[in-house]
């Protein structure tokens, strides 16, 4: 309910502001304490990422010419530096505003949590930060286009900037389980979900950065994107078009602008008119 993220403010914001807003960090990632649960659930990928940074990012200060934020969140909501003396990007003070940091960053990794999707994914969108996700395939028969190591060849991964395959309904940003956590099942009003008229569904892949082959490919993918400002601009514009659908209006003009509530009503009406049954 912060004023800056109200639908009225988002609607009044020129679309160009989504890419002209100054962003001094290449990416921002905040994380909590590691614990035993990480080895038994989907959070394990967060630990993998931290291990990748510790092992292979020791001399990395910049990504695409910009510093980055990689910090641990303390119990009081402030940050606890978990990085060795400036080797891994610019540090912030003990207490900070995470949303402000997101708004100053180009990319924001949103690695798997306890369930799909997660609040952080929508927070970064509202801040104008491009989400970065890991890609899994939930159907082994659809994995033929993948290399044996689960990754893609360089031309596919970087030349096409990781455009995904969710049109085949196999792509997940949560897990490789076969229990149906696809993008269509997990994210509201996603393209091919049949929850809205096709021209109203949200094409998340038009702006989300998809990482194939695991956390080792986060850095090279972001470096490739940082070298292509035209592609970053395109993604920021696509993100700006849909951000209003992830916040709720409050106050006297709450019903004047499109927001999450209005698109939910639109989805219900579409379901009733089309005779679709989503109860199961």
Residue-wise burial string across 38-60, b where 16 or more C-beta atoms lie within 10 A, e elsewhere: beeebbebbbbbbebbeeebeee
Q: Report phi then psi at 156, rounded to 5.
A: -70, -45
Tens digits of residue pLDDT in 175-200: 887 555 889 888 999 999 899 999 99
Q: How confident is the model at residue 104 (pLDDT cuts 50, 70, 90)?
A: very high
Distance CA 207, CA 156 (A): 17
Instruction: Confirm if 170 and 147 have CB atoms less than 8 A apart.
Output: no
Q: Are strands 79-80 and 69-73 parallel, antiparallel or unpaired?
A: antiparallel
Query: pLDDT grade, residue 22 (50/70/90)?
Result: confident
pLDDT of residue 224: 97
Tell me the pLDDT tens digit for each residue of 138-147: 763 433 333 3
Question: So what's the pLDDT on residue 205?
Answer: 95
Interatomic CA distance for residues 27 and 75, integer angstroms: 23
For 194-252, write each residue's pLDDT tens digit.
999 999 999 999 999 999 999 999 999 999 999 999 999 999 999 999 999 999 988 77
How many angstroms separate the Cα of 226 from the Cα of each of 13, 86, 107, 133, 259? 25, 21, 10, 16, 31
165 Cβ neighbours under 8 A, 6+ residues apart: 137, 142, 145, 171
At residue 115, the pLDDT reads 80
pTM over 0.75: yes
Digit-coded pLDDT (tens) for 65-94: 999 999 988 654 454 444 333 334 444 343
């Amino acid at each position: 309910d912060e004023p800056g993220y109200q639908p009225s403010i988002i609607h009044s914001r020129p679309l160009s502001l989504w890419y002209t807003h100054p962003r001094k960090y290449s990416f921002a990632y905040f994380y909590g304490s590691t614990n035993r649960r990480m080895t038994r659930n989907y959070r394990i990928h967060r630990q993998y990422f931290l291990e990748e940074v510790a092992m292979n990012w020791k001399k990395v200060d910049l990504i695409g010419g910009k510093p980055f934020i990689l910090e641990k969140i303390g119990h009081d909501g402030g940050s606890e530096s978990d990085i060795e003396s400036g080797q891994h990007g610019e540090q912030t003070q003990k207490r900070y505003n995470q949303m402000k940091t997101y708004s100053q960053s180009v990319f924001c990794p949103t690695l798997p949590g306890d369930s799909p999707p997660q609040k952080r994914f929508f927070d970064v969108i509202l801040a104008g930060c491009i989400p970065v996700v890991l890609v899994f395939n939930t159907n082994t028969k659809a994995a033929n286009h993948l290399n044996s190591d689960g990754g893609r060849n360089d031309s596919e991964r970087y030349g096409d900037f990781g455009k995904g395959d969710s049109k085949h309904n196999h792509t997940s940003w949560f897990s490789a389980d076969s229990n149906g956590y696809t993008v269509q099942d997990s994210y509201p009003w996603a393209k091919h979900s049949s929850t809205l008229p096709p021209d109203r569904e949200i094409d998340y892949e038009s702006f989300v950065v998809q990482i194939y082959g695991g956390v080792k490919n986060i850095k090279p993918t972001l470096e490739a994107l940082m070298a292509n400002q035209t592609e970053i601009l395109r993604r920021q514009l696509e993100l700006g078009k849909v951000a209003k659908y992830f916040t709720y209006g409050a106050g006297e003009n709450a019903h004047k602008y499109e927001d999450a509530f209005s698109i939910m009503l639109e989805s219900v009406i579409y379901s009733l008119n089309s005779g679709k049954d989503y109860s199961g």
